[in-house]
Amino acid sequence: MRKKLAAVVVVLQIVVALQLVLAGAIPPANAQAQTPASAYPAMAPLDQYLIADKDSEIALARSAAPKSISDAAEVMVLTRDGYATAAKGTNGFLCIVERGWAAPSDSPDFWNPKLRGPNCYNPAAAKSYVPIYLMRTKLVLAGKSRPEIVAESESALKTNQLPSLEPGAMCYMLSKSQYLGDEGKSWHPHLMFFVAGDVEKTWGADQPGSPIIASNNPEEGVTIFMVLVPKWSDGTPAPAAGH
């Protein structure tokens, strides 16, 4: 990676040091080093991934975006049979709390039952990106292994069983209550933009002075661009990058 400006170095070290968690969320730089792959070698009992209080999960999901967006969004919650709609929406957005298997399969937190990643997807992402995660969830609940989850997801993408990514797909991750890794926890509020293929260079991401962080995820055929923002969804200031 090219040498960065001092203000950007810390952020990029955070990103490079760890795989995306929860459809692109990222803990701090030392998370991968301090979360051994052997810490979560297999799926924990399902109850550890579930949130018993449905209303609490709805509130956590909505905390991903400002109330002006999330209050009118559809909300899905995780059940023993997969994700189910818990609140209908009117604006096309979808709020959901993702678990560790949203990450690439080699993430040390893939099976971490503590992970909670509130995301609020815009209509384009809700229709064309979220189905990948929902399919992975079904495979997880069916007892599939990591390689099987990857193979079946990639096959579904190649054979058009899953929709093609729509232009303009993005989501909000602005929740103070996000838990993105044992070392990462809240990290920073950020926006994520999803673009098909490996297109990091076309956005000028990860360049000196650029505010854009990128991660190519070949398992989903997408590049995720992340932009840090200064406030949480409730409007309170977030810690500066590098803290």
Q: Show the tokens assigned to 66.
A: 């400002």
Model confidence over 66-95: pLDDT tens digits? 999 999 999 999 999 999 999 999 999 999
Amino acid present at 176: K
pTM value is: 0.84
pLDDT one-digit tens code per residue, 206-234: 999 888 999 999 999 999 999 999 999 99
Q: Which two structure tokens, joined as six digits, stand for 144?
A: 């599939």
CB 202 within 8 A of CB 216: no
What's the CA gap between 31 and 136, in Å, rounded? 24
Question: Which residue in this structure is represented by tokens 């929902």?
Answer: 134
Is the distance from CB of 203 to CB of 215 less than 8 angstroms?
A: no
Question: Which pLDDT value is given to residue 212?
Answer: 93
Strands 82-87 and 74-79, how do they pair?
antiparallel
Cα–Cα nearest to 140, from 83, 65, 84: 83
Main-chain dihedrals φ then ψ at residue 75, nearest 5 degrees:
-130, 135
- Which pLDDT belongs to residue 30? 41
Q: Where are the domains of the chain?
A: 6-27+46-228
Which long-range contacts link 85-93 to residues 24+ away (Cβ below 8 Å)?
86/54, 86/57, 86/58, 87/58, 91/123, 92/122, 92/123, 92/126, 93/65, 93/69, 93/120, 93/121, 93/122, 93/123, 93/126
The span from the CA of 214 to the CA of 178, in Å, is: 20
Per-residue pLDDT of 171-191, as tens digits, reads 999 999 999 988 777 889 999
